[in-house]
Amino acid sequence: MTQPSAKRFPAPKIDSLPEDIRTRILAVQEKSGFVPNVFLTLARRPDEFRAFFAYHDALMDKEGGLTKAEREMIVVATSAANQCQYCVIAHGAILRIRAKNPLIADQIAVNYRKADITPRQRAMLDFAMKVSRAAEEISDADFAALVAHGFSDDDIWDIAAISAFFALSNRMANVTGMRPNDEFYLMGRVAK
Amino acid sequence: MTQPSAKRFPAPKIDSLPEDIRTRILAVQEKSGFVPNVFLTLARRPDEFRAFFAYHDALMDKEGGLTKAEREMIVVATSAANQCQYCVIAHGAILRIRAKNPLIADQIAVNYRKADITPRQRAMLDFAMKVSRAAEEISDADFAALVAHGFSDDDIWDIAAISAFFALSNRMANVTGMRPNDEFYLMGRVAK
Amino acid sequence: MTQPSAKRFPAPKIDSLPEDIRTRILAVQEKSGFVPNVFLTLARRPDEFRAFFAYHDALMDKEGGLTKAEREMIVVATSAANQCQYCVIAHGAILRIRAKNPLIADQIAVNYRKADITPRQRAMLDFAMKVSRAAEEISDADFAALVAHGFSDDDIWDIAAISAFFALSNRMANVTGMRPNDEFYLMGRVAK
Amino acid sequence: MTQPSAKRFPAPKIDSLPEDIRTRILAVQEKSGFVPNVFLTLARRPDEFRAFFAYHDALMDKEGGLTKAEREMIVVATSAANQCQYCVIAHGAILRIRAKNPLIADQIAVNYRKADITPRQRAMLDFAMKVSRAAEEISDADFAALVAHGFSDDDIWDIAAISAFFALSNRMANVTGMRPNDEFYLMGRVAK
Amino acid sequence: MTQPSAKRFPAPKIDSLPEDIRTRILAVQEKSGFVPNVFLTLARRPDEFRAFFAYHDALMDKEGGLTKAEREMIVVATSAANQCQYCVIAHGAILRIRAKNPLIADQIAVNYRKADITPRQRAMLDFAMKVSRAAEEISDADFAALVAHGFSDDDIWDIAAISAFFALSNRMANVTGMRPNDEFYLMGRVAK
Amino acid sequence: MTQPSAKRFPAPKIDSLPEDIRTRILAVQEKSGFVPNVFLTLARRPDEFRAFFAYHDALMDKEGGLTKAEREMIVVATSAANQCQYCVIAHGAILRIRAKNPLIADQIAVNYRKADITPRQRAMLDFAMKVSRAAEEISDADFAALVAHGFSDDDIWDIAAISAFFALSNRMANVTGMRPNDEFYLMGRVAK
């Protein structure tokens, strides 16, 4: 059974895509062994595809005060609150790999307050969740709580921007019925 | 790192438990290879332990119009809404095994509306979720939606009772900081 | 006029019930002068009936740091939040009797924050309400607030377990359209 | 124990009040045997007192398509949703008397959807509750539901205006810690 | 296009109104150059009209610890939370004029936490919003926050009463589909 | 008085910016007569700036089934629900200009259900609001409602993508304390 809404926005054929997009998709396939569905679904709109992945890469691949595992924690926690199946399952896989921890993604997805994380990571996720669910109430007290854990202004921007970017991403995935590839479910759960 | 609250209600030693409870726990250990933490945490209160598992068994092990996999779907969907880490992860494992489907538990936990289930199962989960989150608004129209899918009055009672029982269970797990055993995360994900 | 949903799960005839259940019901009738409807409605399912009342008795009838009136306060406050007519009206009657106070049940049912209770009882109800409505957010700060009022770990378990048990009970009463017996409304309101 | 907030806005002495207000209060005392606290609390502000009771009388004492008992049903249902102790308990008493029904007020206060009322009254309360809790979403479909039960445009205005007036009243009672007089709890519960 | 619901409660003809109401309306017209629609809509019910404006004037026109601009801030902030088009747009105009500030009304309507107001005004609006949206939770801590900013008990009553009065007003405007007059949108935006 | 949080992420100096970003900013200034603050605030992060405006332009400047005024309606309605001061006030100005209607932006910001829009636009905004606030519940029925008004699949993608993009934008503006330029408040309100 497939979600009917997934049928509304069928993925374009890879061969029909603009050169740069096809190249990126083939590179991902080469590296991962499969094409994550987010690439196929968003390729329907080349300009939006380019902006989406440029934004994604600017936030998730750069160096900075947050580890790559911590960035994925933000994605998993906020995407779970937004009930986004694609993002929780795909980024849960990436989080398990980045954190080298087979348990952490499920813990954070269900209730990040009970996950095996440091108090600093807990403060990071409290802020990310407030940006995701009630950004209009963010106040100086919220910044102070992060500063108390040693986060810099640029770290705070990163936390907020990742939460905000996945607010966009979660909504597109839910509207398009974007389906997590079967490969993600088991990734990072068993030692190789 | 362990949740501090988990320390507030430490599990009693198995040797110190009443005979019937120790016997049940050892039987579970024999069968599963480990003792699920719900048995150890609740054993602090023998009378409540006995009532809890009697209730559980009456709802989950009996015959009836719902398959055992469907009962576990109800547990996973409502426990996810209640953000109960123990129940989602432990019963997610049982659901994967009962349904012989390695993907279904994660799909239902994140957003049951997008899961690969039948329309009948979707109606079952819609009802279970309303019992879990807004039982005060249950009306004849909710019953009619189930009847239209062929559910009997006893099936409807079962759906409601499972949702209600895990309303209790989720709250106890969240208050006691009940931790899912590491074994659950991988169960039912790989063919044996 | 009777709620139509109450018709869906009619009470079984007392004569048709298993011996132990019939005996318990007749004992209640002997003591109270009537059979509270919760006994009749749940008797449809003997195994669940036995587990339900075993759980209830383990929580409500035992000795401990909470008075019996305080236990009923928890029931009335959380059942009001869950809009459970049976539990508010039946346990409101019991609360009036246990507390020897004809006003307290209505005060707590409408807004426990404005009721004539001690600060210790207010802290107890704040915790019970959080267990009932947002158990996923219970944190060490919530435990600390109770400890500051002298509650022991076992008292805290009791508060949580009563709130959790009536989370179950309220949902079953709302789904089955369980009707409070007319006798409850006036009990404990007038001196004998 | 008294609510501390009730101390913030102490009732003025009756003798110190303007003539017209003192006269009204004494008339109520003469008729009821006690002075309902709403009169004393609001007398702190004579102009607001006069406007409040003029508005109240215009809505609650006039003739029209709604019976006086039905008007009180609206007050009890919406005041319960707003957790206003004074209004639920005081107007619950008036409702019992107006409806000559000792059970109806408690039923409506806890869950109006389960109360022994007619389908027409249920539609009236559904509308009143939407005005009370989500007036911004009132649409033509809500009016149509009332028209289908025979309510006139003036009846609809009355339902809305009573709900709106008690939105004001509930807030003032909650802020001032207005306490229901002890006399209200038992009124209308026993045949004279 | 006009909102259909606005058609349900058409304004009566000014000539048909009782003398005192017609006089008031003509005086407003004389002063403002147009008749704000709230006068026409509510004139359908002369007794309610008189009580409404008597209450309004008692709260908004009197002297006291709050400036007239501050009173309008309360109206705009709470009416925006209640999504009341008439009150936000009409009182936004009055606020711009009273505060001699063309920006303040839009800032407060969208997110009062980000508006260019003093910390004292922020505390005033925090309290007004809690009265508007969750008066049942008002506690001594809320009063203490106002006292810390120098508000007197009578100021606190004023804040609460204005918030409560517009809880009524917003609901009536939303139900009647009360339309802000075109004149309000530009008032106070440009220097004369 | 300026929001303290606005101080946390000060705008970089225009001269210090990368060539392409400086060029874009100067072009906007040339055209508008001022630099909207969103350009300055986001310029702190050049890569994110480029992705943000590429995404924005792909959605807002393209041709398609939605008029440019309709796209701005989506921005204003969803940004008001998210209480984003910058987006409501800046895009409110653009909406007034695009729609050649000085009233429409304020109407939509306060309560889009009461705005002077067509039924087709109302359906568009209902969908956009659901994407913004509860995308996890989007179902085939929501698509059907749009199709019934003649929206194509690409139109539906546009509505969803604009709502999703401003979910990101609103969160960044709220976290950074992005201030609407004074110029926006009056734009489009008076005929030139």
Q: Name every residue whose Cβ is closer than 8 Å to that of residue F130 and which is 6 or more positions away in sequence.
A: F137, F138, F142
Cβ burial of E8 (10 Å; 0-12, 13-18, 19+) is middle
Number of CB pairs, chain A paired with chain B, less than 8 A apart: 71
pLDDT at position A97 = 98
pLDDT at position A62 = 86
pLDDT at position C19 = 97
Chains F, E in contact: 3+ Cβ pairs under 8 A? yes
Phi then psi for residue E178, to 5 deg, are -65, 130
State the Cα–Cα distance between residues A179 and F35, nearest whole angstrom: 41
Q: Which residues of C129-154 are buried (b: 16+ CB within 10 A; e: fewer)?
A: bbbbeebbebeeebbeebbeeebeee
Distance, C-alpha D28 to centroid of its chain: 16
- DSSP reduced 3-state for F102: coil
pLDDT at position E154 = 97
Tell me the per-residue pLDDT of A85-117, one tens digit each, with 9 for 90 and over.
999 999 999 999 999 999 999 999 999 999 999
Inform me whether the C-beta atom of residue E18 falls under 8 Å from chain D C-beta atoms: no
Nearest CA in chain F to E80: F110
Chains touching C (at least 3 CB pairs under 8 A) are A, B, D, E
Residues of chain B found within 8 Å of residue C138, distances taken between Cβ atoms:
5, 174-175
Mean pLDDT of the A9-19 span: 94
pLDDT at position C3 = 42
Inform me whether the C-beta atom of residue D140 falls under 8 Å from chain F C-beta atoms: no
Nearest CA in chain C to D174: C114
Inform me whether the C-beta atom of residue B167 falls under 8 Å from chain C C-beta atoms: yes
pLDDT at position A90 = 98
Tell me the CB-side half-sphere exposure of residue B91, using CA atoms within 13 A: 29
- DSSP reduced 3-state for E88: helix
Tell me the per-residue pLDDT of C111-121, one tens digit each, with 9 for 90 and over.
999 999 999 99
Chains touching D (at least 3 CB pairs under 8 A) are B, C, E, F
Inform me whether the C-beta atom of residue C113 falls under 8 Å from chain E C-beta atoms: yes
Residues of chain A found within 8 Å of residue C136, distances taken between Cβ atoms:
111, 113
- State the pLDDT confidence band at B63, using cuts at 50, 70 and 90: confident
Residue type, D86: Y
Mean pLDDT of the C11-17 span: 93
**CA distance readout (Å), D26 to A23, D17, D40:** 88, 11, 11
State the Cα–Cα distance between residues A93 and D10, nearest whole angstrom: 62
Chains B, A in contact: 3+ Cβ pairs under 8 A? yes
Inform me whether the C-beta atom of residue D164 falls under 8 Å from chain E C-beta atoms: yes
Nearest CA in chain C to B9: C153
- DSSP reduced 3-state for C157: helix
pLDDT at position D4 = 42
Inform me whether the pLDDT recorded for D1 exceeds 90. Answer: no
State the Cα–Cα distance between residues D45 and E161, nearest whole angstrom: 11
Nearest CA in chain D to E82: D136
Q: Tokens for D57?
A: 């009388």
Mean pLDDT of the D119-124 span: 98
Residue type, A24: R
Distance, C-alpha B112 to centroid of its chain: 15
pLDDT at position B192 = 62
Inform me whether the pLDDT recorded for B2 exceeds 50. Answer: no
Inform me whether the pLDDT recorded for D6 exceeds 90. Answer: no
- State the pLDDT confidence band at E7, using cuts at 50, 70 and 90: confident
Mean pLDDT of the C135-142 span: 97
Inform me whether the pLDDT recorded for E91 exceeds 80. Answer: yes
State the Cα–Cα distance between residues F57 and F55, nearest whole angstrom: 6
Tell me the per-residue pLDDT of B86-95, one tens digit each, with 9 for 90 and over.
999 999 999 9
CB < 8 Å & 24+ apart, contacts of E137-144: E137/C113, E138/D5, E138/D174, E138/D175, E139/C113, E139/D5, E140/D4, E140/D5, E143/D5, E143/D8
pLDDT at position E191 = 72
Inform me whether the C-beta atom of residue D182 falls under 8 Å from chain F C-beta atoms: no
Mean pLDDT of the C123-137 span: 98
Q: Tokens for B184?
A: 């659950």
- DSSP reduced 3-state for F137: helix
Mean pLDDT of the E6-29 span: 93
DSSP letter assigned to residue F151? -
Inform me whether the pLDDT recorded for F155 exceeds 70. Answer: yes
C84·D110 Cβ contact <8 A: yes
pLDDT at position B44 = 96
- In 3D, which of E94, E88, E83 has the Cα closest to residue E189? E94
pLDDT at position C187 = 97
Residues of chain F found within 8 Å of residue E182, distances taken between Cβ atoms:
103
**CA distance readout (Å), E178 to A66, D139, E36, E41, E89:** 52, 13, 10, 7, 11
Helix residue ranges, H only, E61-115: 68-81, 85-99, 104-111
Tell me the per-residue pLDDT of D42-70, one tens digit each, with 9 for 90 and over.
999 999 999 999 999 999 998 889 999 99
C116 near C126, Cβ under 8 Å? no
Residue type, A141: A
Tell me the per-residue pLDDT of C70-103, one tens digit each, with 9 for 90 and over.
999 999 999 999 999 999 999 999 999 999 999 9
Q: Name every residue whose Cβ is closer than 8 Å to that of residue D166 and which is 6 or more positions away in sequence.
A: D74, D75, D78, D79, D82, D84, D87, D132
- State the pLDDT confidence band at E192, using cuts at 50, 70 and 90: low
Q: How many CB atoms lie within 10 A of CB D65?
A: 14
Q: Tokens for F65?
A: 């089934």
Q: Cα(first)–Cα(last) distance of chain C, in Å?
A: 32
DSSP letter assigned to residue B177? T
A124 near A145, Cβ under 8 Å? no
E71 near F153, Cβ under 8 Å? no
The alpha carbon of residue E32 is apart from the nearest alpha carbon of chain D, in Å, by 25
Residues of chain D found within 8 Å of residue F113, distances taken between Cβ atoms:
136-137, 139
Cβ burial of C80 (10 Å; 0-12, 13-18, 19+) is buried
Helices and strands in chain D, H and E counts: 10, 0
State the Cα–Cα distance between residues B153 and A179, nearest whole angstrom: 35
Lowest mean pLDDT among C94-103, E5-14, F92-101: E5-14
Query: Looking at the partner chain, which of E140, E143, E165 has a beta carbon nearest the beta carbon of D168?
Result: E165
Residue type, D92: G
Helices and strands in chain E, H and E counts: 9, 0
Q: What is the mean pLDDT of chain D?
A: 95
pLDDT at position D192 = 62
Residues of chain E found within 8 Å of residue C113, distances taken between Cβ atoms:
136-137, 139
Q: What is the mean pLDDT of chain C?
A: 95
Nearest CA in chain B to C5: B140
- In 3D, which of D80, D107, D35 has the Cα closest to residue D173? D80
Inform me whether the pLDDT recorded for A2 exceeds 60. Answer: no
Give the rounded percent of residues in chain B with a pLDDT score beyond 70: 96
Query: B83 — alpha (psi -120 to 50), left (phi > 0) or beta?
Result: left
ipTM: 0.96
A111·C136 Cβ contact <8 A: yes
Query: Looking at the partner chain, which of F44, F54, F160 has a beta carbon nearest the beta carbon of A172?
Result: F160
Between C70 and C6, the higher pLDDT residue: C70
F161 near A172, Cβ under 8 Å? yes
- In 3D, which of C20, A170, E54, B105 has the Cα closest to residue F161? A170
Inform me whether the pLDDT recorded for B99 exceeds 60. Answer: yes
A90 near A184, Cβ under 8 Å? yes
Give the rounded percent of residues in chain E with a pLDDT score beyond 70: 96
Inform me whether the C-beta atom of residue C139 falls under 8 Å from chain A C-beta atoms: yes
Residue type, D142: D
Inform me whether the C-beta atom of residue E13 falls under 8 Å from chain D C-beta atoms: no
Lowest mean pLDDT among A56-65, B162-171, B178-187: A56-65
